[in-house]
Amino acid sequence: MTLKQLEAFYWAASSASFLIAAERLHLSQSSLSKRIRELEQQFGRTLFDRSGHKAVLTDAGRTLMPLARKILESADALRSSMADEAGLKGHCRFGLGEHSALTWLPDFVAEARRLYPALTLDPSVDIGARLEEQVDHGLLDFAIVASPATRPSIVAQALADVRFEWAAAPSLAGDLRDPASLFAAGAALITMPAGAGANRIVDQWLAASGAEAARRLTCNSMAAIAGLVVAGAGISLFPQSWLGHMDRSGQLIRLRGRPEPVPLRYFLHWRRDDSRPSIRTLRDLVQARADFARPLSFLQPPLAPPAPDDRKAEK
């Protein structure tokens, strides 16, 4: 019996499929299955019932699961105690929403590369409900989600509260500065799809204010929503850090609705049974580097083109 065989068994049992487990361990599916069969041969017991559409644990497999977890946790602890953090290597797959991706993700990846040059990071950008599902199924090592955990298999730790504000294009708002008045005048509400954390505070605000949006447009990109609002297609809620340059440049104006939208709390999600020291180290780095208030670089003023004399000098 080897640690690699136990690892193959454990992740096959705790992932949504053998294929996902193989990808997590950077193996081919046939190599993963081979290690599990070798383990079954050594024990003389079948660990998975493969007769149905999906392999499921047998009684022997269910008995082995907590024992395999303890052995793997002990092995991870031993590796951690015998090597410094600079030795982190391999792949880490993690998920986050577009707000995180457009604010602190670049700094986080740069810092992780500096600290752990042998480690490969694979970020995945999606809405919160799908990210939580992927963590649960073993597709992601952790995720940053704008909602608490809804699954018992996942631990969620609060990261930060982010304040949002309503905004509209000056051409759409006219003299109105209240989102409820704009909705009454026929303005469309532009939101993320169902399952996105920002939708929760939109619905809470609508319920608290008594406002009604007769038209609702859905878009799966916050950056695209910003473009739609600038073009006058409707109004939306934005993180405060998004509105600085767009407000100063006159692309958008802030709306002062009552009550103020409640802050949106972001959480770090990971599997309750995942005690790998390497993943814990990266989660700590996320907590240190996740600055949701960072201004968006793509919304800053572009560099001015060189003057004609400067272009001649360049030639």
Question: Which pLDDT tens digits describe the chain residue by residue (315 residues)?
Answer: 898 899 898 888 888 788 888 887 878 899 999 999 999 899 998 998 888 788 888 999 889 988 888 888 787 777 666 655 456 777 888 999 999 999 999 999 999 999 988 888 999 999 999 999 999 888 899 999 999 999 998 999 999 999 999 999 999 999 999 999 999 999 999 999 988 888 999 999 999 999 999 999 999 898 899 999 999 999 999 998 888 778 888 889 999 888 999 999 999 999 988 877 788 889 999 999 999 988 765 555 444 444 555 444 444
The CATH code of domain 3-82 reads 1.10.10.10
- Residue-level pLDDT at 85: 47
- Residue-level pLDDT at 84: 52
Q: Which two tokens stand for residue 9?
A: 């068994």
The answer to whether 236 and 225 are in contact (CB under 8 A) is yes
Domain ranges of the chain: 3-82, 88-155+265-297, 164-262
DSSP class of 87: G
The answer to whether 104 and 160 are in contact (CB under 8 A) is no
The answer to whether 192 and 218 are in contact (CB under 8 A) is yes
Domain 164-262 fold is: D-Maltodextrin-Binding Protein; domain 2 (3.40.190)
Task: Tell me how far the alpha carbon of residue 228 is from its chain's centroid.
Answer: 23
User: In the sheet where 164-168 sits, what is the strand order?
Assistant: 236-239, 164-168, 253-255
CA distances 134 to 27, 116, 127, Å, are 19, 25, 11
DSSP class of 223: H
- Residue-level pLDDT at 79: 67
- Residue-level pLDDT at 298: 55
- Residue-level pLDDT at 257: 81
Q: Is 264 helix (H, G, I), strand (E, B) or coil?
A: strand
Are domains 3-82 and 164-262 of this chain identical in fold? no
Q: Is 305 helix (H, G, I), strand (E, B) or coil?
A: coil
Please list the residues that pair with 123 across neighbouring strands.
94
Q: Which CATH architecture has domain 88-155+265-297?
A: 3-Layer(aba) Sandwich (3.40)
Q: How many CB atoms lie within 10 A of CB 17?
A: 15
Our CA angle for 48, 52, 58, nearest 5°, is: 25
